[in-house]
């Protein structure tokens, strides 16, 4: 994958220079609804528009790539502080917040963006992608059309949820749950 190669090269340069790299991972809010209601050809045109808009919202030296479906990634090199990554994310949100004109139809668009930073959030592409993905889902949970930075508690929370889910699945398979009824009684009525 070309984007992963560019990300790996950027990480090597950042290590030599002592700079940071930001990975922004985003998808469109409500894209499935566009495909389901307006059809896949409209969804495909929307994705092409998103790629163009995203390209226009970043610096020439940065890279944007569609990863699949409605998921995109942006590689931002040579940033000094997280504020630089936040500025790029804000420009993306503003640009993608413009309606997409499909013929005479205007389609409202927005995105949720997760941001991970090298070296703070990971030292390799896989770790940075996982961190940015978790941050993106936090942005979606927080109301969409926003960005979130990765925070280490996201990884802890995800691991805890995974562990609890596995425990519950095992308990269900082995009849580990027992149903107890608790009557609701008001003191006045007995």
* Catalytic machinery residues: 70
Whether omega for the bond prior to residue 119 falls within 30 degrees of 0, making it cis, is: yes
Q: What is the DSSP string of 69-127?
A: TTEEEEEEEEESSHHHHHHHHHHHHHHHTSPEEETTEEE---EEEEEEEETTT-SSHHH
| Among 86, 88, 81, 78, CA closest to 19 | 78
Q: Which residues of 132-166 are buried (b: 16+ CB within 10 A; e: fewer)?
A: bbbbbbbbbeeeebbbbbbeeebeeeeeeeeeeee
Q: Using CA atoms, how far apart are residues 157 and 164, in angstroms rounded to an integer?
A: 10
How many degrees, rounded to 5, is the angle at CA 71 between CA 66 and CA 75? 60
């Amino acid at each position: 994958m070309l984007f992963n190669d560019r990300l790996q090269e950027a990480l090597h340069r950042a290590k030599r220079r002592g700079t940071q790299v930001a990975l922004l991972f985003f998808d469109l809010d409500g894209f499935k609804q566009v495909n389901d209601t307006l059809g896949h050809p409209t969804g495909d045109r929307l994705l092409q528009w998103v790629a163009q808009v995203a390209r226009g919202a970043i610096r020439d030296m940065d890279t944007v790539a569609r990863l699949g479906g409605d998921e995109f990634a942006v590689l931002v090199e040579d940033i000094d502080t997280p504020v630089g990554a936040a500025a790029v994310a804000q420009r993306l949100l503003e640009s993608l917040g413009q309606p997409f004109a499909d013929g005479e139809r205007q389609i409202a668009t927005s995105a949720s963006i997760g941001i991970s930073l090298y070296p703070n959030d990971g030292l390799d592409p896989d770790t940075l992608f996982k961190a940015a993905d978790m941050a993106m889902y936090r942005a979606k949970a927080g109301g969409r059309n926003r960005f979130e930075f990765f925070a280490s508690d996201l990884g802890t929370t995800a691991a805890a949820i995974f562990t609890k889910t596995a425990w519950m699945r095992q308990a269900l398979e082995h009849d580990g749950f027992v149903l107890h009824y608790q009557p609701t009684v008001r003191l006045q009525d007995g």
